[in-house]
Every structure is written in structure tokens, then in C-alpha cells.
Amino acid sequence: MLQRLAALAARLLAASASQVSLLTDVQTIGAVSGQDRALVGSTGPLVDSLCTVTAAHGAPLIVQDAVRDERVASLPPVASGAVGSYLGVPLQGQDGRVVGALCVFDPVPRVWHDDDVELLSDLAAAAAAELQLSALSLDHETDRLRWQLAVAAGGVGSFDWDLRSGRLNWDAQLLTMFGYDEAEFGRTIEDFDARVHPEDRGRVTLALEQAIAECGPYEAEYRVVLPGGRTRWVKAKGEALAGVDGRARRVLGAAYDTTSEHEQDLRIARVLESMSAAFYSVDRQWRFTYVNAEAERLLQRRREELLGGVLWELYPDAVGSAFEVEYRRAVDTGQPVIFESYYPAPLDGWYEVRAWPDPDGLSVYFLDITARRTAQRQAETERAAAQEALRTAEQALCRAEESQRAAEESQRVAEAAQREARQAQQAAERTAARLALLARVSADLSATLDTEEAVARLAQHLVPTLGDWCLVTLVGEDGTLRDIASWHAREELRPLVHRYCETRLSSIRSSSSFLHQALRTNRLVLVPPGATETIAALLHGEARDLVRRLAPHCALVLPLRARGRTVGLVTLFRDEGSGDFGEEVLLTATEVGDRAGLALDNARLYGQQQHVAEGLQRALLSAPVEPDHLQIVVRYRPAAQAAQVGGDWYDAFLQPDGATVLVIGDVMGHDIEAAAAMSKVRSMLRAIAHYSGGGPAEVLSGLDAAMEGLATGTTATAVVARLEQREDEQERGVTRVRWSNAGHPPPVLLAPDGTVTTLSGPRHDLLLGLDPGSPRTDEEVVLDRGATLLMYTDGLVERRDQDYDEGLLRLCDAVGELAGEDLDGLCDGVLARLLPEHVEDDVALVAVRTHPQDRPRPPEAGPSRVPGSLPRP
């Protein structure tokens, strides 16, 4: 878990490396990402560690330029160049004592924002909790080793209940699981009941009585209360056996500990709850069943008030509105809906809503877009005013022209009227140009949520309408400045301005510069005529020479503000001959600054949201195994929408007998619940396949039963394929593939001769989560060396502008055309040919290629990756 948290920290903060350090009398490295994994478990002196400084600091340690920071500049990691910037958060135990640190770092200087510190602090809390859990687990290491030996021997804890004598026999493993020793266990059913959690006892008793009455199977999962009050989860399976009289005589079975699975589900739920997207769900009676923290804030009610309440009763103004109409349409049609609508006071705001129906009710994701709608309405009003001004000017010009033609004797009057009309037209055109600029800026900046792209567009809009050249500066969360865009009206001077943009900030002599004045006061700052030497006096080095070559006549610095903070600055320059900045230009610049500031802040928030969502989705998936002479490649492409996580997954692992299992699946839905359900279903399938060692149909049947027994409340499609090889098949150089399909698109097979076929089979079994009793079958095909099997999710072949059959045909054509590529090239080529630039649905893909076994593994297949505890095929 610590290793996954370290990897997640590096990915979410876009850092080159991360590390979890434990501090005692030495520093011990507990987990790393972006470094040599051999470092895990190594120790070093406390005095050489940045994490020691973090622990002593007792709060997040923010180092933007390590070489210049007196606190860490002399430490070996900084002196060696490995650490150029550093962000670390202490790990605290329940007693408040600092036990270590979680950190991310880059080899170059970097600005860390408040959001970065908050995100790393959340991950550090999770890491501290994991360390506490590990410490508690040390007391039971002996029991864990005994459990591993029992599993290795092919069994878990077992029980035998003689119904006639009432004697209940448990093996040593089961006694340990229930917290008994041999002496105190009375071997009665009452001893069993005494340990079952009171809330689960009735349900377990009913399951036993039903099995005895029917002489049938027994299955239950329940909590066990150990001496001292601690609980653990246990799953039991058994069978009631009949005597000669046909009545149940004894109950035999086995049980195993499932506590870790439940704890993993809780950890995933905590991560999902911390997301910033607003989300709630209602059941078929429109009662709230789940509300996250962000939804509580936007709905202006506490979770306790909402859960169990009826949506239409708590929010009566929604009755008859677009919210009710669209929600009911989604439930009636079974199709998701997306819309924007206004909700009156007390919410008093516009919202963008996405609602997905499912068998249990409706899931809703929504964002507050009030600011965006207000800006759009203002732009439309200004555009209408500009059009009216243009019509007025045209009418005035027509009247002047008619007066001029009326008579020569009134020529003087007509000429005067004509001059007046021209002046009116020029004024109107200036007004129209100003309003058109504002409209272009609003439309263009709202067309993208990429910060760098939005800023670059802003620079090009302002030149030459408001100035001859300009620079755009972003303000970091900690107040640091970064020049990121520039533009000049003259193309030949753009490289010069670009170089000035790169050197200006590092060359400013003092904080009294015009740029810093605007940042402190949040007001527009004018640099009067003669600006060249005025600005040069505040600079040194190359930047001072550049500004003299550019020779600005005057300048202004405009703050870009949004949501109570300055997010950027625009510096506009006018050259000699372009005149000073008039009142109309200053007014236009101020309005542009307000709109640009809001757009930049929206882009920043969107980027954070998308980064967290995608990082979460990828963290749920893992790297595949790659046995000898089998090359396995996986790909995952997330959907384009921000904070949208889905249920697509892939997997590749070995069963205990050395057979390779490939899985592709898709849990229904594209929301947080779908991602959580996917993680559960994927983990259950992997566990069932590994433990049972069964074939694909057996594994899918077991998964279907587990989904019903554990009440996952979801449906899914999947294909499970098992690559097997008997001794005679190995001698002939072929591999046999058994597969079973649960309602999923069929795999595609590329033969060594370039022939492409789909593995449809005579049956297409029911998808998972509907009828666990539905029979499932295995299909088989024999692969020659050099054959390729491709498995994928429906996002690859199906979307709104393309039906399923057309997409499958395109996939087969693409695979045939790419037959000569290596496996990585084949997978990348298929994605490039079939997917648009902005993907509407998640796409997962797993492919395997059989390489010849009478020669070494080819270089393009990379190294073999097989867990050390499993046999190599």
C-alpha cells in the first residue's frame, strides 16, 4: 500500500520522484517511485536527509529552489543535484509523534502550490494510517505464517458439526481465526455463536438452518468479535450431508479471513470521498442514498438531513423544472442525460448536470456554472449593443449622403452633416471593435480549459488592438510570478520579445517594480512616456539590453483577478508613434483583465480536477505479467471529460499451475461508483481465478456467484482467456487458448500469416450480475507461434457516430494492415486509427503474442515478468 501511495503522489503532483521515509535513530526508506526499487528497506544517517528537516519542522516543508534554501542546501541529495525542489509532509501517529515523512521532488527548481500541499497532506494521512495498521498486524505475525502454510498445503480453516451429538470440531487454523485456544473451546455451536457479531448472528443462523433443512450448501460472510473487542471478517462455505434417513446428519466446510478485502474497500471509499466533484445518488423512490462532501456544500444541507429524504420534498422548486423532467427521462429511457438549468433561492445558481440511471436508481454529477452563464449573458448584451451602434451609424451615413445629393446650394450643410456622420461612424466602429474584442476574448478563452493555451490566445488578442506588444504572467498559489506568453505585432521582433519574456523576471532588481506594484495593489499601473529607460533602470544583464532594443514608448501593467485573488498579470507596451493609452483603451483593458482572470482560474481548477480523476483511474490498474515466450501489452485511454472515471479494466496474471490468464472487462457506468465497483469485481475475479485454478467458464461462474452473494449491485461484461500448453503441444510449438465470454465484444485473433478472425464462438453467455445460475461454457482455439490475440472494451469500436458492427469491421481491417508491426506498434497503431482526438468513453486493451519457444525471448518483447512464487510456463 505504501508503494502505491508513493506512486500516486508522484503521478498526481507530476513529480519525477517520491519517497516514504521512516525515522528512528536512522532513516529507513519504506517506498519509492521514480527511483531504484532496490532502495526500499535501505537505511542512512538522519543528518543527511531532507525528511529529517521535514520531521523537525513539524509541518509541510516547501522548498522551491533547494540550492538557494539555507535549510537544505548543504545536504548530500541537494549537493549531488538529485534534488532541485522538494515538498514533504510529516507522518504522525495517533499519539501525535512524527514517525516519518512523505515527499515528492524534482531535480530542477519548481513552484509548489497550495493545492499541491493539500493533496500531499491527504496522501500522507493515508500513509500514516497504513503504518498504524501494519504495526497492529505485527502482533499476529505467527498466525499469518500459519495461515500461509495452510494455504500452501491446499486448505484454510475447516469445521465439522455432528448434528446428532452436537459436537463441533475445528482445526487449529479456525480456532486461531475465532480467537480460541484448544482448552477454552467447548466444541458446541454455542461457542461459535458467542464469537459471531450480534448484528450478523441472525443472518448466519438462518443460513445454517436453511442448509440443514435442505441438505444443501451453506455460505455466509460475517464479523467475528475477538476477545478484547476487535473484529475480523470471515467467509465460510460448506455442505449439509444427509444420513440414510435423508435428514441432515452433519455440516462440513471451511472458512477464511476476508478482513483485508473489506479494509481495502474502505480505503478506496475514503479516496473517492475526498474528490472535489459534487455527486449524489437516489433510489427508485427518489430517496437520497449517497452524498459526497462537495454535494453537501453546493446543496447547502448536511448529509444527515439529505440521506433517506425524498429529493422532491427536500427541494420542492425542482418539481416541474428541467431537473425533474430530465431525471425522469433518464430513469424511463435508461439513457444518461446532460443539461444545464437554473435553480432558484436558496441555491440561486446555474448548474451543469450529468445523470446516469442504473438498476438501483439515479446517479448525479453536477458543477456550479453560474459565473460562466453570467459572463455569457453579458457578452451577448454587449454584442447586441455593438450591432445597434453599427446600424445607427449606417443610418446616419445614409442620411448624410442623401442630403449631399439634394441640391448644390445646400452642399455646405450636406458636407457638415457628412462629417458628423463619419465621426459617428468612427466612434461606433471603435465601440464595435472594443466590444468585438471583448466578445472574442470571452469566446476564445472559454473554448479551452488548458491554462497555457488560454494565456497564449490572450496575448494574441490584445496585440495590436490595445498595444504593439505584450507579456502575460501567471501568479502562483504562493505569489511567485512566471512569464509564460508573449506576442509582438511585428513578426521579426517576436523572437526578441520571447527572449525578453524568458529573462525579465530573474533580472528585476527590486520588489518596487511596476509588475510588483500591480500585484500588491491589485490595480492597473501606468508607465508614462519615456518608458524605455524607466524600465531599464529596474533591470540588469541581458533583459536590460533587450528592453532598450525593443524601445517601448509607454506601458501598463494590468492585474487579472478572479474569485478574490490575482491569478495573472498582463504587461502591454506601445512603441514610439503609437500614442499613449487613452481612457477607452484602459477601460477595455480592465474589462479584458476581468474576463481573462476568470477564464485562467477556471482552466486551473479544471486541470486539477482532470489530473486527480485520471490518476485515480490508473491507480486502480496494475502492470501485467509477461511469462517466457509470451509478450503481453496493455493500453488504457481515459475519456476526455474531467473527473469522469469509469469501469473499464484489464488484467494479466498467472494461476498456480503456471497458466497465463488474460481478462478484459467493463463495469456498467462512467462515474465514481463504477470505478469502485470495477475495483471490487476485478479483485474478486483475480482472487477466484488464482485460488481455484479453474478454467474461464468456472472463474466467471464463481465471480457471478460472488457478486450476488456480496451484493455488489452492479452488472459487467468480461472475457476471460487462459493460455495452456501440454507437453505434446510444447513439442509441436503451439499454445491452446480456452476462453469464455460474458456479454463482451469478441476477441480478435491475428494468425502468423496475417489472417484476422473474431473469436465469437457458438455461444455468447449472459453478462455478469444478472443470473448467477446461467450456464457458462469454454471455447478453445489453438495458436501457432507468432499469433496475436487482442482483447478490448467497447469504447474502441462503438461511439455515437459509429455503430458496433462498423467499428468491429474497422478494428479487423486495422489489425490486418498492422500485422507486420511488433506488439507495441500494433496496439498503438490500432488506437491511433480507431479513436478520435477526444475520446467519449474509456478504452482498455490487452494483447498477447506467442513467440517461438526454441529460441531466446526476442528483444522487442522486453524482459520476462513473473512473480517469484509461481512456476514459469
Q: Are residues 534 and 587 in the same domain?
A: yes
pLDDT of residue 155: 39
In the predicted structure, residue 188 carries a pLDDT above the cut 90: yes
Confidence grade of residue 405 (pLDDT, cut at 50, 70, 90): confident
Is residue 653 helix, strand or coil? strand
Confidence grade of residue 293 (pLDDT, cut at 50, 70, 90): confident
Is residue 514 helix, strand or coil? helix
Q: Are residues 85 and 74 in the same domain?
A: yes
pLDDT in tens, 636-681: 888 755 445 678 899 999 999 889 999 999 998 777 777 888 889 9
Q: Taking residues 547-564, what's their average pLDDT?
A: 90
pLDDT of residue 666: 93
Q: Are residues 488 and 570 in the same domain?
A: yes
Bridge partners of 356? 363
Q: Are residues 221 and 191 in the same domain?
A: yes
User: Distance between CA 199 and CA 221 in Å, rounded?
Assistant: 12
Q: Tell whether 412 is covered by a domain.
A: yes
pLDDT of residue 642: 46
Q: Taking residues 356-374, what's their average pLDDT?
A: 88
* Residue written as grid cell 468456472: 698
pLDDT of residue 153: 43
* Residue written as grid cell 452436537: 166
pLDDT of residue 312: 95
Residue 168's domain is classified under what CATH number?
Answer: 3.30.450.20
pLDDT of residue 401: 75
Q: How many CB atoms lie within 10 A of CB 91?
A: 27
Q: Are residues 406 and 425 in the same domain?
A: yes
Model pTM score: 0.40
pLDDT of residue 145: 44
Is residue 800 helix, strand or coil? coil
% the chain with pLDDT above 90 = 50
pLDDT of residue 410: 65
What does the H/E/C string look like for 540-597? CCHHHHHHHHHCEEEEEEEEEEECCEEEEEEEEEEECCCCCCCHHHHHHHHHHHHHHH
Chain centroid, CA 396 distance in Å = 59
Residue 633's domain is classified under what CATH number?
Answer: 3.60.40.10
In the predicted structure, residue 210 carries a pLDDT above the cut 60: yes
Give, rounded to a whole angstrom, the gap between the first and last alpha carbons of the chain.
29
Helices (H), 407-525: 411-446, 451-462, 494-507, 514-521
pLDDT in tens, 236-260: 999 999 987 889 999 999 999 988 7
CA neighbours within 13 Å on the CB side: how many for 734?
Answer: 11
Torsion of CA 800, 806, 809, 813, to 10 degrees: -70
Which H helix or E strand runs over 609?
Answer: helix 583-619
Q: Are residues 706 and 845 in the same domain?
A: yes
Q: Tell whether 238 is covered by a domain.
A: yes
**Measuring CA to CA, how many Å separate 467 from each of 152, 570, 572?**
77, 11, 6
φ, ψ of residue 714 to 5 degrees: the values are -145, 165
In the predicted structure, residue 459 carries a pLDDT above the cut 90: no
* Residue written as grid cell 542546501: 73
Are 72 and 105 in contact by the 8 Å Cβ rule? The answer is: no
Residue 481's domain is classified under what CATH number?
Answer: 3.30.450.40
* Residue written as grid cell 450476488: 708
Nearest residue to 834 (alpha-carbon basis) of 719, 748, 743: 748
Q: Taking residues 600-606, what's their average pLDDT?
A: 68
* Domain termination residue (choose one: 575, 602, 629): 602
Least confident of 302-311, 560-569, 796-805: 560-569
| Domain extent at residue 663 | 620-744+757-785+836-849
pLDDT of residue 445: 67
Q: Are residues 354 and 227 in the same domain?
A: no
Phi-psi region of 135 (alpha: psi -120 to 50; beta: other; left: phi over 0): alpha
Confidence grade of residue 484 (pLDDT, cut at 50, 70, 90): confident
Q: Which residues contact 678 (CB under 8 A, 6 or more apart)?
A: 620, 646, 647, 648, 649, 665, 667, 716
3-state helix, strand, coil in the chain (%, to 5): 45, 25, 30
Q: Tell whether 872 is covered by a domain.
A: no
Least confident of 43-52, 142-151, 279-288, 326-335: 142-151
In the predicted structure, residue 195 carries a pLDDT above the cut 80: yes
**Measuring CA to CA, how many Å separate 528 from each of 192, 517, 531, 533, 783?**
89, 15, 6, 11, 79
Q: Are residues 426 and 535 in the same domain?
A: no
CA neighbours within 13 Å on the CB side: how many for 365?
Answer: 20
Report the domain count for the chain: 6
The C-alpha cell at 713 is 449491485
Choose from 251-265, 270-284, 453-467, 477-491 the range with maximum mean pLDDT: 477-491
Q: At what angle do helices 823-834 and 804-817 cross, to 10 degrees?
A: 140
Is residue 397 helix, strand or coil? helix
User: Distance between CA 836 and CA 196 in Å, rounded?
Assistant: 55
pLDDT in tens, 733-748: 899 999 999 999 999 9
Q: Are residues 278 and 245 in the same domain?
A: no
Q: Are residues 110 and 77 in the same domain?
A: yes
Chain centroid, CA 360 distance in Å = 25
Q: Tell whether 861 is covered by a domain.
A: no
What is the overall mean pLDDT for the chain? 85
Nearest residue to 788 (alpha-carbon basis) of 728, 713, 839, 737: 737
Using CB atoms within 10 Å of the CB of residue 727, give its burial: 0 to 12 exposed, 13 to 18 middle, 19+ buried: exposed
Q: Are residues 475 and 547 in the same domain?
A: yes
Q: Are residues 360 and 413 in the same domain?
A: no
Q: Which residue has the higher pLDDT, 178 or 461?
A: 178
Q: Which residue has the higher pLDDT, 763 or 624?
A: 624
pLDDT of residue 730: 86
